[in-house]
Amino acid sequence: MEWTGEALLIGVRRHGEAGVIAEAMVVGRGRCLGLVRGGRSSRLAATLQPGNSVQLTWRARLEGHLGVFTIELLEARAADLIADRTRLYLSQLVCEHLRLLPEREPQDRLLGMALGLIDHPPDGVELARFELALLDELGFGLDLTSCAATGVVEDLTHVSPRSGRAVSRSAAEPYKDRLLRLPSFLAGRGNASPDDIRDALRLTAHFLDMHFWTAHKAERPPTREPLVDLLTHD
């Protein structure tokens, strides 16, 4: 078995004396893992950095096997990311998020959004939209189209922390202290202030925590809170 494709490296871990297991989001194939023989060598160190784009060739005797990667660098981002703390934290968070996806299921929409986030100036609005898309692809999407209580589609201001459904201003009024605020830009209205971005990322964090971090007894990515502070600093 063999295939070749372009990919974003999202993780690398040691394997044996000299090898590594590389994890990558591959165009048309989704999240794939493979052994890189000699991956801990100085020759490959600069290539095998999360955030780099690479050309992968995967080979295995059977499709279900881990397989072996050979890797060619297409775009090195690591040095530029290290020079910009906000971009570095954003890249690390995006890679951590992509590692939540099931293996070998094509996710080109999310891959495109991830590359857009990494390659453009840090943007809290796009990060919030990426996290919403991630939840949707994982089967835990939020319904922000109509009010859970009344069915109206206008003046949606909050989200139920249990169901992930939007709530209108009038229906939310008696329960505001129990609901999550829905920034207007996520409902397709208006621009985003720093407070709106913080509320949007608080909203997505709640559902990522509910379905993944707490559910799987995992810690939140350590760069996320510092990144939110950087993205919402006036």
Each residue's pLDDT tens digit, 38-57 = 999 999 999 999 999 999 99
| Residues listed for the chain | 234
Check residue 191 and give its pLDDT: 84
Check residue 234 and give its pLDDT: 63
> Distance (Å, rounded) from C-alpha 44 to C-alpha 179?
49
**Over the chain, what is the mean pLDDT?**
95
Check residue 78 and give its pLDDT: 87
The CATH number of 2-76 is which of 3.30.70.360, 2.40.50.140, 3.50.50.60, 3.40.50.2300? 2.40.50.140
Check residue 193 and give its pLDDT: 94
Per-residue model confidence as pLDDT tens digits over 10-33: 999 999 889 999 999 999 999 999
Check residue 188 and give its pLDDT: 77
Once rounded to an integer, what is the mean pLDDT over residues 200-216? Answer: 95
SS (H, E, C) 95-114: HHHHCCCCECCCCHHHHHHH
Once rounded to an integer, what is the mean pLDDT over residues 145-164? Answer: 96
Q: What is 138-153 written as a DSSP string? A: TT---B-SS-TTT---
> Distance (Å, rounded) from C-alpha 86 to C-alpha 122?
7
Q: What is the chain written as a DSSP string? A: -EEEEEEEEEEEEEETTTEEEEEEEETTTEEEEEEETTTTSHHHHTTS-TT-EEEEEEE-SSTTS--EEEEEEEE--HHHHHT-HHHHHHHHHHHHHHTTSPBT---HHHHHHHHHHHHSS--HHHHHHHHHHHHHHTT---B-SS-TTT---SSEEEE-TTT-BEEEHHHHGGGGGGSEE--GGGGT-S---HHHHHHHHHHHHHHHIIIIITTTT-PPPTTHHHHHHHHT--
> Distance (Å, rounded) from C-alpha 106 to C-alpha 200?
27
The predicted model scores a pTM of 0.95
Count CA atoms closer than 13 A to 228's CA, side-chain side: 18
- pLDDT grade, residue 70 (50/70/90)? very high
Count CA atoms closer than 13 A to 85's CA, side-chain side: 8
Check residue 215 and give its pLDDT: 87
- pLDDT grade, residue 205 (50/70/90)? very high
- The answer to whether 198 and 181 have CB atoms below 8 angstroms apart is no
How do the domains of the chain map onto residue ranges?
A: 2-76, 123-231
> Distance (Å, rounded) from C-alpha 44 to C-alpha 97?
25
